[in-house]
A and B are shown apart, each in its own frame.
Chain A
Amino acid sequence: MKKNILNLLIVGLVAVALTGVRAQETAIDIITTINVLGQTKPIPVSLSGFTGEGAEVLKFDLAVQGFSFVTPDAAQYLISGSDASSISGSLTDKFAKRVLLSRSYNGASLRRQAHAFADDIVFAITGKKGIGQTKIAYKSQPAGYGVGGIYVSDFDGANAQRITKDNAIVAKPAWAPGKLALYYTSYALDNPDIFYHSLTTGQRSKIAAYSGLNTSAAVSPNGSKIAMVLSKSGSANIWVCNADGTNLKQISHGDEDSSPTWSPDGSWICFATKHSERRRLAKVPASGGTVQYLNTTGAPNPTEPDWSPDGKWIAFTSQMHDFNVCVVPVDGSMAPAVLVEGQNPSWSPNSRTLVFNRSMGYRQVLSVLDVFTKQYKDCARATGSSSQPAWAK
Chain B
Amino acid sequence: MPIIEFLKGLNILDPKRVKITFDEQENTLKINVDGRILSGLIPAKPFPITYPEFVIFRDSSGVDVCIIRDYRELDEESKRSLQKVLDKIYFIPKIQRIMSIETSGDEFLWDVLTDKGPRVFRTRGRMSVILMGKRVVITDINDNVYEIEDLSLLDPKSLSELEATI
Bound together: no
Interface residues, chain A, with chain B CB atoms under 8 Å away:
none
Interface residues, chain B, with chain A CB atoms under 8 Å away:
none
